[in-house]
Amino acid sequence: MRLAPYLVGLTLAGLVLAPLLLAAAPAEAATRGLPSGLADTRRECSACHVLYPPELLPARSWQALTSHLSTHFGEDASLDAPTTAAITKYLVDHAADSRYGSRDVMWHLSPTQTPQRITDMPFWRSIHRRLLQPGVGTGPGIRTAADCARCHDVRSE
Amino acid sequence: MNLRPILLLAFAASLTGGATLAATNYASERAAIVARYAAEAKQANPNFHGFSADAGKAFFLAHPGTGRPETPSCTTCHTTSPRNYGRTRAGKQLLPVAVSRTPARFTNLTKVERWFKRNCNTVYGRTCTAQEKGNYITFMESQ
């Protein structure tokens, strides 16, 4: 399994993402030279949960997910058509199978599958396997596992 | 290969999103939105007599039973006291909805309309009337 060498190196230090993060994000990056759609995605897709990284789902998943935002995991996350289009483009352009992505995120994902949750991606389940009680992080309802900020130090606004 | 930079980048991008509200006059922006709802309400009902904080409170606390089972009430996410921090179902903390606690509340028409549309749909299973929207904001202004 290709993830193995990498997993060996993982420690709890991997959970403390924010300090590195801050260093990596110069302030003016927020206003200048933003990829189009990023500002919309940031504003609209972090209101209810962390801003999920586009690199953690393939393009087809983002397309599927943004095609029915008014029925989004039991909630209405609908947006007007131009904003939806801008966000979809940004997510698709930065997806796991785009040039920004990593083949490891696509690990064991069959071409016939279109998961709409990162927590349904085989790579994610493999990494978090030991943390999940049987059945946790599966099924249709709210998944606490989807709240990445519970364990990863991230900010989403 | 390393997944960490991916997470870092994406979350970094999310850090600086909120800081766009400069020294704007929140009270007058909110008043313009309320005036707009008043005009709409008057059009729908010639006997319109202004907005009621009490009606807004009842609307906020109600469990109408006509929306989605996951979101029975506005209080599901905003809690029963507008002065409290809220929490979404997905676990994210929300700023209080009371204007005294979060002065920037109800000052951006696009945002206000977007969330009334969504949340009235999930909680009430329908759109809200201008009367209801104005009552709601009037209640939050009194909190």
Q: What is the pLDDT of residues A46-76, one digit of tens each?
A: 999 999 999 999 999 999 999 999 999 989 9
| Average pLDDT taken over every residue of chain A | 78
Q: How far is A73 from chain B (nearest CA, A)?
A: 10
DSSP string, B105-120: TT--HHHHHHHHHHHH
**How many structural domains are present in chain B?**
1
CATH number at residue B79: 1.10.760.10
The pair phi, psi for residue A103, each rounded to 5°, is -65, -25
Q: How far is A58 from chain B (nearest CA, A)?
A: 14
Residues facing B94 on adjacent strands: B86
Segment A140-150, tens digit of pLDDT: 556 678 888 88
Residue B77 and residue B91 in contact, taking contact as beta carbons nearer than 8 Å = no
Nearest by CB to B6, from A30, A55, A79: name it: A55
Q: State which residues form the domain around B57.
A: 4-141
Quick one: average pLDDT of B126-132? 98
Nearest by CB to B122, from A24, A75, A154: name it: A75
Segment B2-47, tens digit of pLDDT: 455 455 444 443 433 333 444 369 999 999 999 999 999 999 999 9
Burial label, B80 (beta-carbon count in 10 A; 0-12, 13-18, 19+):
exposed
Segment A14-32, tens digit of pLDDT: 333 333 233 233 333 444 5
Q: pTM for the whole thing?
A: 0.86
Segment A77-87, tens digit of pLDDT: 999 999 999 99
Q: Of B104, B103, B100, which Cα lies nearest the Cα of B142? A: B100
Q: What is the percent of chain B where pLDDT is above 70?
A: 83
Q: How many CB pairs under 8 A join A and B?
A: 125
For the stretch B73-81, contacts whose Cβ atoms lie closer than 8 Å and that sit 24 or more positions apart, written own/partner, are: B73/B123, B74/B119, B74/B123, B76/B123
Q: What is the ipTM of this complex?
A: 0.80
Q: Is the pLDDT of residue B134 over 90?
A: yes
Nearest by CB to A147, from B11, B15, B91: name it: B91
In whole angstroms, what is the distance from residue B30 CA to residue B24 CA?
A: 11
- The predicted pLDDT at position B52 comes to 97
Radius of gyration of chain B, Cα coordinates, nearest whole angstrom: 17
Q: Of B62, B61, B108, which Cα lies nearest the Cα of B82? A: B61
